[in-house]
Amino acid sequence: MSQQVVYIDGQFVPEAEAKISVFDHGVLYGDGVFEGIRLYDGNIFRCREHLDRLYDSAQAIAMKIPISKAEFEEILAETCRRNGLRDSYIRAVVTRGPGTVGLSPFKCPVPTIFVFTAQLRLYPDEYYRDGLTVITTAHRRYSSDSFSPRIKSLNYLNNIMGKINAVNSGVQEGLVLSREGYVLEATADNVFVARHGILVTPPVYMGILKGITRDAVIELARADGIEVREEPITQYEVYTADECFLTGTAAEVVPVRVVDSRLIGEGRPGPITLRLIERFRAITTTDGLKI
């Protein structure tokens, strides 16, 4: 199998040569930011929005990305070109860079930047047809007054612990609650519920990641005349919903069939969910950056 080409710090190299220092603070402390992006038929979906979030995350942790967004766009596109890809997952990572052992980021003069691609299919087709089985995880989200979940940082332990809980329970995903008991999101995706034709998703201020796919789905729903509300939801609202689905870069729009042993609605993807899956897939090849 041929090796993919990876971009790292100004060079495109075979993946076996793509290495970072063991003293990089991204490795030592999870100090850095990243984005997961999709390439659909030669179109980097919502590339600008992903880069805006990447640079905002870096700004929030007092890290300056040493290249412009336009330069970063070209790196993403060229990584795909060099790998001969038309459809792919793209991971863009900026770490604090190598430095001394110790927490201070000021001992890391130059951030590390790398970009790679991967073939990713988060869920098989049957889950888009039949829906996921989901539990509420035992691991609550850390308080947003200590660290903003809007920062897409390299430290994903809170999410990972929730995913371990879900996998060990024999289900595909887990819902994460706030310390107050509100439903925030899944371990890797945003969450929506529909009831009486109204779509509801938790607001960003509750402590969730402002998902790129989430925003696209809200726009598509409103364009179709569906009322969308961004307001707190509880487990009760999920259990009694007519429909529930998750959104994310890897998952796209995926229905939820069961939550905590409760069948959602009629136990199959509902009309709003199916319509938004169709509408979302229709824009993936046109909304973004052509490589």
Cα 58 to Cα 95: distance, rounded to the nearest angstrom: 9
Cα 52 to Cα 210: distance, rounded to the nearest angstrom: 12
Cα 186 to Cα 232: distance, rounded to the nearest angstrom: 14
The one catalytic residue among 19, 152, 163, 290: 152
Q: Is 152 an annotated catalytic residue?
A: yes
Cα 248 to Cα 210: distance, rounded to the nearest angstrom: 10
Q: Where are the alpha helices (DSSP H) in 114-168?
A: 125-130, 157-168
Q: Report the chain's C-alpha Rg in angstroms.
A: 19
Residue with token string 């999709």: 38
Q: Which residues contact 88 (CB under 8 A, 6 or more apart)?
A: 38, 39, 80, 117, 118, 119, 120
For the chain, how many helices (H) and strands (E)?
Answer: 8, 16
Decide if 141 contacts 179 (C-beta within 8 A). yes
Q: What residues are annotated to the active site?
A: 152
